[in-house]
Amino acid sequence: MRLTEEEQDMLNGKHGKAAKKSMEILTTLGDIFESKEMIDVYGVQIAGVSYANLGEAGLEWLSEMAEDGKVKVLTTLNPAGMDRENWQALGIDKEFAKNQNRAIEAFARMGIITTCSCTPYLIGNAPHYGQHIAWAESSAVCYANSVIGARTNREGGPSALAAAITGVTPNYGYHLDKNRHGQVLVKINASVKGTDEFGVLGKIIGDKLVELEKKIPYITGIPSATVEELKSFCASVATYGGTALFHMENITPEYEKYPKPSEVVFEINQKDLDKTRSGLIDDDIQIDFVSIGCPHASIHEIAKIAKLLEGKKVKKEFWITTARPTKRIADEVGYSKIIENAGAKFASDTCCVVDPIKGRFKGIMVDSAKACYYGRAKNKFKVKIGSIEDCIEEAVK
């Protein structure tokens, strides 16, 4: 790989230990993927923040990097294993909280903004069209590449941190035009509305892509989609299909930039949506937990929840997972008060998947196909998908 003088100096240790280790990670990656050079990144988003994922080994590595490492570009974090302010009310034990805070402190020592969210694009870590970034969270990577038209590979925790410390990433994969072409033409013959339905659609397309061993769908037949619907779709198609980029006709910014695949490879109709939706509802489920905000809820979704909960009381554990800056806006405009008066809880900085809640609940209701996947796979809950309205109806029942 061709390195600039500064990059070579970093590799030789002239900029300190953390920069040297970072450049070693990035040049190794670059060699594996036959990248010719590094490119500057505008911003970074780091995953693997929960102490449950990091463990002591991860924490030790972070602490070593934090001895002299400082980030060069805007960097934020993925959700942590707890709400950093409200962890006690959400049932997190003291020991876990102490260790989670040690991890967050190590990130902070490196100059990372310790906002823990999987929707960095909603809270200021927002690249524009064509900018190169190094993000790690799969749903955010898919959103950045597809909906914004920025460019990122799906980074691991170490490679994202390395990009933050050096300000560069190897130029390969989705950073290059040649790897951004739609591969599979998908036609939607049904009306798709709401975060839950877009999640169901993401699962159908994701599953099919795995079967076809393809990565980039070009989707037609969706007349419009909101930010919230697209973030749900991204989370789902990335979870079920490993998809980091899609094009959606008349919606995503690059849909005309590359040739449209010529033949429809598969179509999706109402029956497919209904069948897949029923697959995300377990038999004999006893719902004792409702959670909205996977990916993290936007202020628009919180406003909707406040309106639906006004004057009601929830009878089940009910979390709204969101980024702390979004929660602060909700506090200021009074949505939080309405929601908390109804007995629901905010779980900022975290979510129902990365929180260590296995064994605490039996059945979870969500509006997210991604949360269904991890609710089953990681936490062994029974799951049920529904719209935000359905989730609230269940919570107050």
For helices 369-377 and 194-212, the axis angle rounded to 10 degrees is 70
Choose between 27 and 232: whose C-beta lies nearer to ligand F3S: 232
Choose between 18 and 292: whose C-beta lies nearer to ligand F3S: 292
- Measured from the Cβ of residue 186, the count of other Cβ atoms closer than 10 Å reads 24
Find the binder of ligand F3S among 261, 374, 375, 391 (CB under 6 A): 374
Find the binder of ligand F3S among 30, 69, 79, 363 (CB under 6 A): 79
Choose between 78 and 100: whose C-beta lies nearer to ligand F3S: 78
Choose between 141 and 150: whose C-beta lies nearer to ligand F3S: 141
296 binds ligand F3S (CB under 6 A): yes
What is the rounded distance in angstroms from the CA atom of residue 189 to the CA atom of residue 10?
A: 53
Find the binder of ligand F3S among 208, 316, 327, 370 (CB under 6 A): 370
Q: Give the shortest CB-61-to-ligand F3S separation in angstroms.
A: 21
Find the binder of ligand F3S among 81, 295, 356, 375 (CB under 6 A): 295
Residue range at the interface with ligand F3S (CB under 6 A); choices 24-32, 172-180, 204-212, 366-374: 366-374
Binding pattern for the stretch 125-144 against ligand F3S, x by CB under 6 A and - elsewhere: --------------x-----
Cβ atoms of 293 and 351 within 8 Å: the answer is yes
Q: Give the shortest CB-243-to-ligand F3S separation in angstroms.
A: 14
Choose between 308 and 353: whose C-beta lies nearer to ligand F3S: 353
Contacts of 12 (CB under 8 A, 6+ apart): 20
Q: How far is CA 182 from CA 33, 138, 185, 255, 257, in A?
A: 21, 19, 7, 8, 10
**Two tokens, residue 126:** 């927002």
Consecutive H or E run containing 126: none
Q: Give the shortest CB-170-to-ligand F3S separation in angstroms.
A: 25
Q: Give the shortest CB-14-to-ligand F3S separation in angstroms.
A: 37
353 binds ligand F3S (CB under 6 A): yes
Alpha helices in the chain (DSSP H): 5-11, 17-32, 51-68, 94-109, 138-143, 157-166, 194-212, 227-241, 270-279, 299-309, 324-333, 335-341, 369-377, 388-396
What is the rounded distance in angstroms from the CA atom of residue 205 to the CA atom of residue 120?
A: 25
Contacts of 355 (CB under 8 A, 6+ apart): 50, 81, 82, 90, 92, 347
160 Cα distance to chain centroid: 14
Residue range at the interface with ligand F3S (CB under 6 A); choices 82-90, 107-115, 163-171, 288-296: 288-296
Find the binder of ligand F3S among 321, 326, 348, 379 (CB under 6 A): 321
For ligand F3S, the binding residues in 100-119 under the rule CB under 6 A are: 118
Binding pattern for the stretch 190-229 against ligand F3S, x by CB under 6 A and - elsewhere: ----------------------------------------
Helix, strand or coil, per DSSP, at residue 74: strand
Choose between 165 and 320: whose C-beta lies nearer to ligand F3S: 320
Q: How far is CA 178 from CA 70, 72, 144, 220, 245, in A?
A: 33, 29, 18, 22, 13
User: Residues interacting with ligand F3S, by CB under 6 A?
Assistant: 78-79, 118, 139, 235, 294-296, 321, 351, 353-354, 370-371, 374
